[in-house]
Amino acid sequence: MAAQGPHTPGYASPEQLKNEKRFISYKSDIYCLGIVLAELILGVNPFNPSIVGMGLSCNDNILNNSFCLRTPNITISDNAQEIISKMLRYHPYERYRKVSLLIKDLEVFIYGKS
């Protein structure tokens, strides 16, 4: 594996961890925001081995695309899971292509408007 680029462990996108400079972009930020959003709800990083049940570290699970959006006590609604999952897609092309699209989905989720 190529040397990792600068990153915050547990909050970096796969392309940052793999140091794929060509693909490190605002979509890496969307990925990071997805992790933070999930952690705010769950109280724990969604890639944390303690809830994923595998991997040695969050980074390990990020590279394996293994995350969990529930804890024994907290479950995230299907609609919110859909949004966060799209933010946490492994390949950048599968994530939100524009921040405005993410905002639109969040507004529909929060306010029910489209």
List of residues contacting another protein (CB under 8 A): 22-23, 25-27, 91-94, 97-101
Please identify which residue in the block is written with the tokens 């524009």.
98
Residue 72 and residue 59: Cα distance in Å, rounded? 22
The structure tokens listed for 34 are 């997805």
Q: Which is nearer to another protein, 51 or 87 (CB)?
A: 87
Give the shortest CB-30-to-another protein separation in angstroms. Answer: 11
The structure tokens listed for 43 are 């109280």
Three-state SS sequence of 64-100: CCCCCCECCCCECCHHHHHHHHHHCCCCHHHCCCCHH
Give the shortest CB-18-to-another protein separation in angstroms. Answer: 12
Give the shortest CB-52-to-another protein separation in angstroms. Answer: 24
113 DSSP 8-state letter: -
Q: Which is nearer to another protein, 27 or 34 (CB)?
A: 27
Give the shortest CB-29-to-another protein separation in angstroms. Answer: 12
Q: Which is nearer to another protein, 8 or 100 (CB)?
A: 100
Amino acid at 97: R
Q: Which is nearer to another protein, 34 or 92 (CB)?
A: 92
